[in-house]
Chain A
Amino acid sequence: MTLINASSHRVEIATSASRLAAIAGFVIVVLLFAAPAFVSRRLLQDLFFILTMLGLAQCWNLLAGYGGLVSIGQQAFVGIGAYALFGTSILLGVNPVPAILIGGVVAALLAIPTAFFAFRLAGAYFAIGTWVIAEIVRLLVAQWKMLGGGTGTSLPNSIRREFWFTETIQDLFGVRAAASRDILAYWLALILVLSVIGGIYWLLRSRRGLALSAVRDNLQAARSVGVDALRMRWFVFISAAFGTGMIGALIYMQKARISPDAAFSVQDWTAYVIFIVVIGGIGTIEGPIIGVLVFFILQALLADFGSWYLMILGVIGIAVMLFAPRGLWGLFSDRTGIQLFPIRRRLVRPMISNDKREG
């Protein structure tokens, strides 16, 4: 895209690589939407896992990579979003599909008191603080007897049969009810992830994205040029919680079974997510995409190794942090200069337009 100004200077953001990527991306998105027509149910479930983990990773990356807020308590929002879906559908009779949105709203509401306490802490204390808050929420939810307390509960069949659009999907693909629910969940995951990536990219291309980078790079200087640093942090924290909550709700709609220990698992919803972002490349949109694919492959390869699996993941994570601190995508991007989601604004003088470009 080019921001055209009436007079001599221009600002360019797009690169030739990003224009190609946009076309390729469009083709991939179309293929992904059409996937239920030609891939197996097993593969569709794998894609669902990849998409939802990617969505969580993008949200965490927004928080930590762009906002400088390293939270290890994002499981609080996955869990509360999921429980909001179960609560509203079982107790209030809301259809689970729109209840995904409620999951996001409830997570965003939980983010308000969480931020109120956690923003008083900095760095490592912030990280631990968010974790502690997530544990408190897990313990509180485990007291909720109507949703099974500590052992959790399942979505009753009566509700599962009522998922929106599943009958249309059954007719369309000639599949059974269970398979149609997988297709629905997959499509919803795809839409959610595209919205999260699109939303983050839009944010970073806007004035707010600049402010976010400024706050991350130098808080004092950002304040001195008029950036409301605290407001930016609130905005990012609540947005990330909203996205995380919706994805959490969708994950458990698909699982149809919830328990506090699973829904508020720091390993599943934060540790893996951090691993994905770190090995892929923190502070880039491309990074988590690469990261989630690597994570999925590793998980498939190491599935039989039991607890060795976690140790190997840890070793790989440490190795990447030491030898490629900007992740696999950073390594690639530094060598080639390629960016698929460019956010750099390049000032161009038309007179000498194509020389002297730096950075």
Chain B
Amino acid sequence: MTILSLNNVSKSFGALRVADSITFDVVQGEALGIIGPNGAGKSTLFNLITGNLKCDAGTVHYIGEDVTRSSAMQRCLNGMGRSFQIPQPFEKLTVYENLLVAATFGRNASEQAVIEDCAAILEQTEMMPRANAVAGSLSLLERKRLELARAMATQPKLLLLDEIAGGLTEGECQTLIGTIKSIHSSGTTIIWIEHVLHALTAVVERLLVLDFGKLVAIGEPDTIMESKEVREIYLGIDV
């Protein structure tokens, strides 16, 4: 079953076309990776999917419904969770409270009902020791973990991750891969933007390549990485 379907989605900032007639489907339970050079329009594509930006043209269908005009909040309530490339914590709340906002509002539950679940997510993302620290005091790495944890707390059906592996050590990266694999194996559909290719290819079943707002290629990671076009775009990057 198709969970997400983009049809000729376009977006321009002035003369700059950041999303150019993008069309693709994501099947429920799949993990899709998105790669592309800086400025290719990857985060913009996320914002169009989640409703943080409005499409100029084209449609977004999510679980069979046209959500092109619905708000970011509505899409979250329908089971879309996301992390931001530049972490956007609620600075004056604690780590635990950050999760609590997401868990109680994202799935419309009471505070008591989500305590154990939030605690489990904190353990899983290794943020438990910082649970009662104010988010504004976190390091960049911790902020990135908080992004993942908070997105998980909404219990999404579709989880969109925007560059959460950058700057991690190899060990931390392996832990992260394990975490995302376990989220994925529990049935959550994942779309993951990442520059750290080996982390991406360890999890995803398909890769989508963006360049200058255009969808260049989509398919199995091995096939994609061997294609000449992609190698040209990624000139100098070994896989």
**Bound Cα distance A349, B88 (Å):** 27
**Bound Cα distance A349, B96 (Å):** 13
Tell me whether A5 and B91 are in contact (CB under 8 A): no
**Bound Cα distance A346, B131 (Å):** 8
Instruction: Given A213-B93, A214-B90, decide whether A225 and B133 contact each other with a Cβ distance below 8 A.
Output: no
A356 sits at the interface (CB 8 A): yes
**Can you name the residue of chain B whose Cβ is closest to the Cβ of A345?**
B97
Tell me whether B112 and A210 are in contact (CB under 8 A): no
**Bound Cα distance A161, B97 (Å):** 53
Tell me whether B132 and A357 are in contact (CB under 8 A): yes
Least CB distance from B103 to A in Å reads: 9
Tell me whether B97 and A225 are in contact (CB under 8 A): no
Set of chain A residues within 8 Å of B92, measured between Cβ atoms: 213, 216-217, 283
Tell me whether A207 and B104 are in contact (CB under 8 A): yes
Set of chain B residues within 8 Å of A207, measured between Cβ atoms: 104-105, 110-111
Set of chain A residues within 8 Å of B122, measured between Cβ atoms: 347
Tell me whether A344 and B94 are in contact (CB under 8 A): yes
Set of chain A residues within 8 Å of B154, measured between Cβ atoms: 225-226
**Bound Cα distance A345, B95 (Å):** 10
Set of chain B residues within 8 Å of A226, measured between Cβ atoms: 73, 76-77, 102, 105-108, 154
Interface string of A326-359 (1 = CB under 8 A from B): 0000000000000000001111010000001111
**Can you name the residue of chain A whose Cβ is closest to the Cβ of B109?**
A207
**Can you name the residue of chain A whose Cβ is closest to the Cβ of B75?**
A224
Instruction: Given A9-B115, A218-B88, A346-B96, decide whether A358 and B73 contact each other with a Cβ distance below 8 A.
Output: no
Tell me whether B133 and A358 are in contact (CB under 8 A): yes
A206-228 interface (Cβ within 8 A of B): 207, 210-211, 213-214, 216-218, 220-228
Beyond the given A220-B88, A347-B119, A347-B132, could you list 8 further A-B residue pairs with CB under 8 A, ordered by the A residue number?
A5-B116, A7-B116, A10-B115, A213-B90, A218-B90, A223-B76, A224-B52, A347-B115
Ordered by A's residue number, 9 sampled pairs between the chains whose C-beta atoms are within 8 Å are A214-B90, A216-B92, A217-B91, A220-B52, A221-B150, A225-B101, A225-B105, A347-B122, A357-B132
